[in-house]
Amino acid sequence: MITRNSHSVQGVDRAWQRELAEAYRSPVELLTDLQLDPAEFGQGLEARRLFPMLVPKAFAAAMRPGDAQDPLLRQVLPVGDEFLVADGFGPDPIGEQDGPMPGLLHKYQSRVLLMLRTGCAVNCRYCFRRHFPYADHKVGAAELAQAHEYIASDTRINELLLSGGDPLMARDDHLAELVARFSDLPHLKRLRIHTRLPVVLPSRITDQLVSLLADAPWRVVMVLHINHPNELQPELVAGLARLKAAGVTLLNQAVLLKGVNDHADTLVALAEGLFDAGVLPYYLHLLDRVAGAAHFEVDEDRARALMAEQLQRLPGFLVPRLVREIAGEASKTPIDLKLV
């Protein structure tokens, strides 16, 4: 049986590493603990060969036992549709596999993205980097020195984004070393951390992490990845309150996913739940067309209709921007809602 972790938020430092080591890697084990019969899923579970399964037990604890259509389960369970070849879907949907140096992307003029860690705590089946050549983009001491030199040479860069994988896979002491390394760059104004790790492993919000971000020399923004209101579990909400109290700006970006959150009621509940937790909705992404994820795609007409209903039911500050990322464009591309 799946049980909730009693020390998710207040546990000792590195408890999250122990929990990650105990994460589900077998679809059969996960389904059995959810009181589902693996035989009913047939050969679809073999899609784990295309992209390994990884699901922390803290995240699985928020899934509904006995419900094969649970929206959290659908995001992480390998299925046969991943073997289908779909037109327009490929390994690099947003054209980011080339950068100025390994582990560093500079797509937008004022900000650079550093792939601090290539691993993640959960393998979402729609992940746009599921085919990314992480082995070619590992960031060690030499790469950090190169990144520092690159940012120092371009004073137009005022924001450092940490991504991955998931940057919070780095230990707190490693994050502290990074903050110290880049703190001498006067043109940096913000540190932005894009992460899903606290959502699937709330114990990652350690006292050390909160203190580090509170004392950072820049404004710190954490962009979470929460797709469904059921992901806003009490342990996560408690951790977010601590980050908020430390002065961290909390935003959320979700992906519109067929069978997960493609209903207005779900999106409205997500927006309200985020705000209750001190998080502002930021982006609602149309699916990045990565090979193996075509079954998650929601077409633009449906997406526009869902946005129109959110505009009717929510105050404007709780309505995320509907966007698509297009390779080579200078920014995210907003989807025009005037055609609804």
**Annotated binding-site positions for [4Fe-4S] cluster:** 120, 124, 127
Distance CA(21)–CA(45), nearest Å, equals 21
Residue 221 pairs in a beta bridge with 192, 249
User: Angle of helix 141-152 relative to helix 172-182, nearest 10 degrees?
Assistant: 30
| Residues making up the binding site | 120, 124, 127
C-alpha distances (whole Å) from 222 to each of 17, 103, 156, 182, 264 are 20, 20, 22, 18, 25
Total residues found in the chain within this entry: 340
DSSP structure class, residue 288: P
Beta-carbon contacts of 14 under 8 Å, excluding residues fewer than 6 positions away, are: 171, 206
For the record, the structure tokens of 66 come out as 């006995």
Distance CA(120)–CA(20), nearest Å, equals 10
- With residue 179 as reference, give the H or E element that holds it: helix 172-182
User: What is the per-residue DSSP string for 116-174?
Assistant: EES--S---TT-TTTT--GGG----HHHHHHHHHHHHT-TT--EEEEEES-GGGS-HHH
User: Angle of helix 207-215 relative to helix 234-245, nearest 10 degrees?
Assistant: 30
For the record, the structure tokens of 199 come out as 């959502």
- With residue 285 as reference, give the H or E element that holds it: strand 280-285
Among candidate residues 5, 2, 8, the one with its CA nearest the CA of residue 204: 8
Distance CA(255)–CA(222), nearest Å, equals 17
